[in-house]
């Protein structure tokens, strides 16, 4: 046996013994409705847990159920079962509930009906009510039209050629277009909204647009901008279709500047150079250039900084020299 292999086997034995020397229990398995919020991930041998039913559930037994972590790392049996509390279905809705009179905890009643008739009724002098009780009417809508260049994604599968009141959907547009709004639903009057217009983000001056589009969810489209050479991007390069349906604001490409003097020295890019040596004569948006002004009394030059701002680089007033013709 080679020394390396022996060492490997030894360390495995050591690892095995440290892990097995101290047994613990994991989180006990519990049935539906038992309160899991009190449970820990790890228990010592002999540790006990009192199980109770969570909110919205009723225990099957009156006594609390205790379980114990055994020395094999398992748990003793629990005799607790929890059943969900029931909500009575309102009488007026029972005809619609297919014979059921109650529904378990966490059930949802979806009202896909609208009320027809007066919303109130008063007891009159002659012992009658002013208005008859309202009736509930099922409302169906025709299927909504998808946007041009897009589609509709329904919240739940559609059966047949109608949707029910309250049912909703999302409009999606083919990339890189984005809808002007993204949700629609079957309305109480049985109508659906008109399909939205799919909009495409426009190009920016002196820049390009790239559609490296991911489509996790319709409206979270992203579009990326870049500027032409020597232009500097100001703002977010990436814009996103927002849930208002609009795109976040587009960036702007800022123009480079020409240093508008014929003769003289400047301080640029950590160097003091003659303007004739700046080839090509171009500094980028946001870059600083220092011009040397003359202090006549002391017969010395002092630097005054100017910054290129979207194509314009002001020359300090104190600078005396020859200027390039504008434009």
Ligand X SMILES: *[C@@H]1O[C@H](CO)[C@@H](O)[C@H](O)[C@H]1NC(C)=O
Binding residues for ligand X (CB under 6 A): 108, 110, 119-120, 124, 126, 128, 156, 244, 246
Please give the DSSP secondary-structure letter assigned to residue 7: H
Q: Is the Cβ of residue 52 or residue 246 nearer to ligand X in the bound state?
A: 246
Q: In angstroms, what is the minimal distance from the CB of 245 to ligand X?
A: 7
Contacts for 235-239: CB closer than 8 Å, 24+ residues apart:
239/201
Q: In angstroms, what is the minimal distance from the CB of 32 to ligand X?
A: 20
Q: In angstroms, what is the minimal distance from the CB of 250 to ligand X?
A: 11
Cβ-proximal residues to 2 (8 Å cutoff; 6+ apart), any chain = none
- Residue 108 has φ and ψ, to the nearest 5°, of -125, 130
User: Pick from 319, 324, 233: which is nearest to 284 by CA?
Assistant: 233
Q: Is the Cβ of residue 65 or residue 199 nearer to ligand X in the bound state?
A: 199
Q: In angstroms, what is the minimal distance from the CB of 162 to ligand X?
A: 14
Q: In angstroms, what is the minimal distance from the CB of 128 to ligand X?
A: 5
Pairing of strands 113-116, 300-307: unpaired
Q: In angstroms, what is the minimal distance from the CB of 147 to ligand X?
A: 16
Indicate the burial class of 227 (C-beta count within 10 angstroms; 0-12, 13-18, 19 or more): buried
Q: Is the Cβ of residue 37 or residue 126 nearer to ligand X in the bound state?
A: 126
Q: Is the Cβ of residue 81 or residue 87 nearer to ligand X in the bound state?
A: 87
- Residue 115 has φ and ψ, to the nearest 5°, of -85, 135
Q: Is the Cβ of residue 28 or residue 179 nearer to ligand X in the bound state?
A: 179
- Distance (Å, whole) CA 155 – CA 222: 23
Q: Is the Cβ of residue 241 or residue 255 nearer to ligand X in the bound state?
A: 241
Contact between 311 and 256 (Cβ < 8 Å): yes
């Amino acid at each position: 046996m080679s020394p390396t292999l022996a060492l490997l086997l030894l360390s495995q034995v050591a690892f095995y013994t440290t892990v097995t020397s101290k047994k613990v229990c994991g989180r006990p398995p519990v049935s539906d409705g038992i309160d899991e919020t009190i449970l820990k991930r790890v228990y010592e041998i002999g540790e006990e847990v009192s199980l109770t039913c969570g909110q919205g559930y009723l225990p099957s037994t009156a006594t609390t159920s205790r379980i114990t972590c055994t020395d094999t790392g398992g748990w003793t049996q629990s005799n607790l079962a929890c059943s969900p509390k029931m909500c009575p279905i309102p009488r007026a809705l029972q005809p619609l509930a297919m014979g059921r009179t109650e529904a378990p905890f966490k059930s949802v009643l979806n009202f896909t009906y609208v009320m027809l008739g007066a919303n109130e009724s008063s007891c009159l002098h002659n012992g009658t009510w002013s208005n008859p009780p309202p009736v509930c009417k099922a409302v169906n809508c025709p299927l909504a039209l998808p946007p041009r260049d897009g589609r509709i994604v329904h919240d739940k599968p559609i059966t047949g050629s109608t949707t029910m009141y309250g049912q909703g959907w999302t409009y999606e547009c083919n990339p890189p277009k984005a809808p002007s709004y993204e949700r629609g639903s079957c309305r109480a009057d049985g109508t659906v909204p008109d399909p939205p217009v799919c909009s495409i983000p426009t190009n920016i001056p002196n820049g390009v647009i790239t559609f490296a589009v991911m489509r996790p969810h319709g409206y979270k489209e992203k579009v990326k901008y870049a500027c032409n050479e020597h232009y500097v991007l100001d703002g977010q390069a990436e814009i996103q279709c927002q849930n208002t349906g609009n795109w976040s604001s587009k960036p702007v490409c800022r123009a480079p500047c020409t240093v508008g003097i014929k003769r003289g020295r400047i301080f640029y890019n950590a160097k003091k150079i003659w303007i004739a040596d700046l080839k090509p004569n171009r500094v980028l948006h946001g870059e600083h250039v220092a011009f040397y002004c003359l202090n006549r009394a002391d017969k010395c030059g002092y630097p005054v900084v100017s910054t290129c701002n979207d194509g314009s680089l002001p020359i300090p007033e104190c600078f005396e020299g020859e200027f390039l013709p504008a434009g």
